[in-house]
Amino acid sequence: MNTAINSGHLVFLLNGAMWTLVLSLLAFAGGGLGGFVVALGRTSPIKVLRILSSAYVQLIQGTPLLVILFLTFFGLPTLGFSITPLFAAALSLTIYVSAYLGEIWRGCIESVPKAQWEAAECLALSRVQRMFKVILPQAVRIATPPTVGFSVQIIKNTSLASVVGFVELARAGQLINNSIFEPFAIYMIVALLYFCLCFPVSALSKRLERTGAARLRTLKAASA
Amino acid sequence: MTLDFTAILARWQMLLDGLALTVQLAAVTTLTGFLIGTLCAIARRSDVSALRWVASVYIEAIRNTPFLVQIFVVYFGLSSLGFSFSAVTVAIIALTINVGAYTAEIMRAGFDAIHPGQWEAGECLGLSRTQTYWHVALRPAMERVYPSLTSQFILLMLASSVTSQISAEELTAAANFIQSETYRPFETYIVVALIYLALSLAMRVVFWAFGLAVFPRRRRLGTNL
């Protein structure tokens, strides 16, 4: 039996890293859509929508992702749905991400200077026009740095999908460890691969934050 | 099928034991994590470049890798060095290392937000750097970033669920055990999710009350700084 880490193991880990990226993208796409709805609900003029979306955010942010994942993976089948590990992971990450992104984006929508809202109203734009033509284009620019920053959290949190047996990077490491039992070396390599995935994104978000902060200042100064 | 909670609620003792461990993990690592984080924030702002470098490497390494992998590295790393700790001890070490890095970034922002005049005033009074941090900067820095600290420590409590993976018998591990006994996963995890939700709300209240007690200025003004 071969007990050293060989190139085949590295290929297997890289393949796992690819699935980590796929799952991250699925979570970002699903969570982004959900988060957009949550953010609109949180800033809606209709009280019921505000209460519902805020309750949703409180509920999800007060529950560990691991429990949401177990709830979908073990719970849904007993209710008669048959689901794969990938679907369970993507669904629970979507739910989780939508609450956090929704809350981040709400802050961004609300930080568009008040004069912009009033100006849009003075121009007799409807609520929908005001949101889509005036507020959102500005909110998107404010939202970019924190959204990129949160993507790092998404990539890291996909590691929990390993717990329900979806073979992404962390699970690939566990499987290799089961065959050669070199846990410390393997998990260090896995950690390094995660670092390679996350660090560029963190660095980008830090850079965007610096330029974004300057832009927001000029925006505020211009409309003050 | 219909939801049936009787089998789960009959095992309330197990849930209670799990909850107790989750609360202990959260309470202990909030303190240790805050300590490590504040020390790292100070190291990160130090004049000694080696200290700055070590602190940055630690912070970036932790913030860019998943907690699940960190806990495995700590668990197997310690045992390959010849230490044999209980799962709970490993959980406390791993959670402390993890939250320390996030707290360091938060506290650094807090220290950075202290007005330069305050540091100069400390120096003029002949306080050492350590004394300035302790007597002048620490409390107002904490006060400024207190909401972020609150959220971070609630996230820490939620992250403690991951320690079930190295068989620390906390709330999530209790849930896994109960669902394997009762074959009622949906009901079990709903109950546990609600317990976590109640716990995070309770933590919010505790942190709010602590903030009122420790930051009298906030209480008087009723606003953030």
Query: For chain A, which domains are there?
Result: 7-223 (1.10.3720.10)
Each residue's pLDDT tens digit, B196-225: 999 999 999 999 999 999 887 655 555 554
Cβ contact, residue pair A67, B196, below 8 Å: yes
Instruction: Please check whether residue B189 touches A, CB under 8 A.
Output: yes
Cβ contact, residue pair B64, A194, below 8 Å: yes
Q: Is residue B145 part of a domain?
A: yes
Cα–Cα separations (whole angstroms), residue B104 to B54, B145, B224: 13, 11, 21
CA of B204: which chain A residue's CA is closest?
A: A62
The DSSP secondary-structure symbol of B136 reads I
Cβ contact, residue pair A76, B179, below 8 Å: no
- φ and ψ of B108, to 5 deg: -60, -45
Distance (Å) from the C-alpha of residue B157 to the closest C-alpha of chain A?
A: 9
- Return the pLDDT at B222: 52
Give the nearest partner residue to B196 out of A62, A75, A79, using CB atoms. A62
Cβ contact, residue pair B175, A61, below 8 Å: no
Where chain A has pLDDT below 70, the residues are 1-3, 223-224
To the nearest 10 degrees (0 to 180), the angle between helices A169-180 and A7-42 is 150
Residue-range definition of the domain harbouring residue B38: 6-221
What gap in Å lies between CA A213 and CA A210, rounded to an integer? 5
Going by C-alpha positions, the residue among B165, B202, B184 that lies closest to residue A78 is: B184
Instruction: Please check whether residue B4 touches A, CB under 8 A.
Output: no
Instruction: Please check whether residue B192 touches A, CB under 8 A.
Output: yes
CA atoms B69, B190, A96, B41: torsion sign: negative
Each residue's pLDDT tens digit, A133-192: 999 999 999 999 999 999 999 999 999 999 999 999 999 999 999 998 889 999 999 999
Instruction: Please check whether residue B64 touches A, CB under 8 A.
Output: yes
Kindly report the CATH number assigned to the domain that includes residue B165.
1.10.3720.10
Cα angle, residue A114 at apex, residues A113 and A119 outer, rounded to 5° = 105
How many separate domains does chain B show? 1
Cβ contact, residue pair B65, A195, below 8 Å: yes
Average pLDDT over residues B173-177: 95
Q: Which residues of A touch B179 (CB under 8 A)?
A: 70, 74
Each residue's pLDDT tens digit, B97-122: 999 999 999 999 999 999 999 999 99
Position B142 pLDDT exceeds 90: yes
- Return the pLDDT at A144: 93
ipTM: 0.89
Indicate which of B25, B58, B62, B64 best probes the interface with A, i.e. most A CBs within 10 Å of its own CB. B64
- Return the pLDDT at B3: 80
Give the global pTM.
0.91
Q: What percent of chain B has a predicted confidence (pLDDT) above 90?
A: 84
Each residue's pLDDT tens digit, B58-86: 999 999 999 999 999 999 999 888 888 99
Q: Is residue B173 part of a domain?
A: yes
Q: Is residue B11 part of a domain?
A: yes
Q: Is residue B48 part of a domain?
A: yes
Q: Is residue B34 part of a domain?
A: yes
Contact A201, A155 (CB under 8 A): yes
Q: Scanning the structure block, which residue is given the tokens 């971070």?
A: B152
Give the nearest partner residue to B186 out of A61, A78, A202, using CB atoms. A78
Q: Is residue B32 part of a domain?
A: yes
Cβ contact, residue pair B73, A187, below 8 Å: yes
One-letter amino acid for residue B73 of the chain: V
Q: Is residue B1 part of a domain?
A: no
Q: Is residue B129 part of a domain?
A: yes
- Return the pLDDT at A38: 97
- Return the pLDDT at A6: 87
Q: Which residues of B touch A159 (CB under 8 A)?
A: 66-69
